[in-house]
A = this chain, B = another copy of it.
Amino acid sequence: MKDTTILLESVRKLLRRGATVHLLNMLLKVRPADLAEAFKSLDEQEKSAAFRLLAERAVPQAAELLGHIHPAHRPDVLRGMGPEELAPVLQRLPSDDVAEILSICPQEDRDRVLSLMQKEASEEIQELLEYEEDTAGRIMTTRFLALPEATSVQEAIAAVQKAQEAEMVFYLYVVDEQGSLKGVLSLRRLLSVPPSTALRDIMTTDVISARPETDQEEVARIVSQYDLLAVPVVDADHVLIGIVTIDDVVDVMREEATEDIYKQAGTSDEERLTKSTLKAARLRLPWLFAAFGGGLLGALVIRAYTPWISRAATLACFIPVVLGMGGNIGTQAATIMARGLATGRISLRLVGEVIFKEIRIALLLGSMYGTLLGIAAVFLVGLRPAEGLAVGLSLWMSMAMAAVLGAVLPMILKTIHIDPAVATSPFVTTAVDLLGLLAFFGVAGPRLAGP
């Protein structure tokens, strides 16, 4: 942490002074991963100026740095660079990173960059770009090592030595003449058998694979479930077309967790990528509109009871606490259910059990806090005992209903193919609010109408 700060300050100082030779020497001396960390804290102009210097004078280092920079920061880093400057840098990046960068460029720039790159690399990238975002096809690399079944171990070792381009070689894939995936073996296995052995005799034929259209979250689940370092991606004819490596999976997991957390709060992951207040506001608009619409409905509910409120205004004091407690326990139930469904910890068979447990918890906590609220209403605010009882009961009901809604909703959303993570969003807390109001006026209302 401290080193990053020192590095950051030095880069800044040298940029301000225009000391390009010193700055370049410094940039070349630091680990690309550390430099990427420091880059996060530079402002837009500093990012692009420092990167441009590196891209002009030291293309390989620039490419390595760019590979380590978080995708969200790449547009800033590359700002103002034309296709002619971009192409040589991108040429050196893994094809999945290039596809990611080009996917947010204007079509015109994209085509120009691709035409400037080597034909083979450019074709690879165009293929990746044809797969949808967030699929295995988009994050796979096409630089893998695949050998025929008859290859000897000795030949395979020679192939590994030559394959400088392949990404992270830990598995060797074995294919037939059509390129169809037949087996896999680890680099280590290669070392523990006689050199003349054919790969077909030592390979594992039980290979876990993904399809290019497989969702990246599912790929992450496969890697985690089977403890793999890479997953081969095959097409409809079982032809090996790429591999997804674990370093990309680690990034996917981080992204997906962030996405879920954002959804729970009623906004989108896209907000991270925008600096525009207007765009961020637009992303939240629909969620808040649900809250607003629900709030207005709530206002109409309360309005129906205004004659009663005028007569017993003290009872109205308890509206916020009844709604707030319901909202909290409903959110807890929804969170536990949605996260369990996302990680696969709550299987379909367990759903009923978890819902039932949530309801028990809500009834228990509702009884406790309901009693407390009733007592507080009588002794702190001075309600009559019958009114205190009504307020306490309405809290209990509000919590019970919120727990049922919170626990059941993620399951319903999953069934109709909506991400359960949205179950704790404003959309739902507002539904819980409305239920709470109905509980309040349903139970406490008749008391309000009393003498």
Contact = CB atoms under 8 A, between A and B. Distances in A.
Contacts of A429: 324, 327-328
Contacts of A160: 188, 191-192
A101 interface: no
A96 interface: no
Contacts of A41: 347-350
Nearest to A360: B277
Contacts of A309: 309-310, 313, 316
B321 A376 contact: no
A142 to B, nearest CB: 19
Interface in A254-268: 254, 257-258, 260-262, 264-267
A28 interface: no
Given A260-B261, A294-B324, A361 B302 contact: no
A302 B320 contact: yes
A36 B344 CA distance: 12
B161 A325 contact: no
Interface string A376-411: 110011000000000000000000000000000000
Interface in A267-290: 267, 271-272, 275, 277-278, 280-281, 284-285, 287-288
A191 B429 CA distance: 59
Interface string A64-93: 000010101000000000000000000000
Contacts of A424: 265
A264 B266 CA distance: 14
A319 B319 contact: yes
B381 A331 contact: no
Given A261-B264, A288-B365, A324-B429, 10 more contacts: A224-B251, A229-B246, A253-B253, A272-B345, A280-B361, A287-B328, A296-B321, A300-B380, A313-B316, A319-B319
Interface of A: 8, 31, 33, 36-37, 40-41, 68, 70, 72, 157, 160-161, 168-170, 187-188, 191-192, 206, 223-227, 229, 246-247, 249-251, 253-254, 257-258, 260-262, 264-267, 271-272, 275, 277-278, 280-281, 284-285, 287-288, 291-292, 294-296, 298-300, 302-303, 306-307, 309-311, 313-314, 316-325, 327-329, 331-332, 334-336, 339-340, 343-345, 347-350, 357, 360-361, 364-365, 369, 372-373, 376-377, 380-381, 424, 426, 429-430, 433, 437
28 contacts: A40-B345, A41-B349, A224-B247, A224-B251, A227-B247, A261-B339, A264-B264, A265-B336, A266-B332, A267-B335, A267-B336, A272-B336, A272-B340, A277-B364, A288-B369, A292-B369, A292-B373, A298-B324, A299-B376, A302-B317, A309-B310, A313-B316, A319-B319, A319-B320, A320-B437, A324-B426, A324-B429, A328-B426
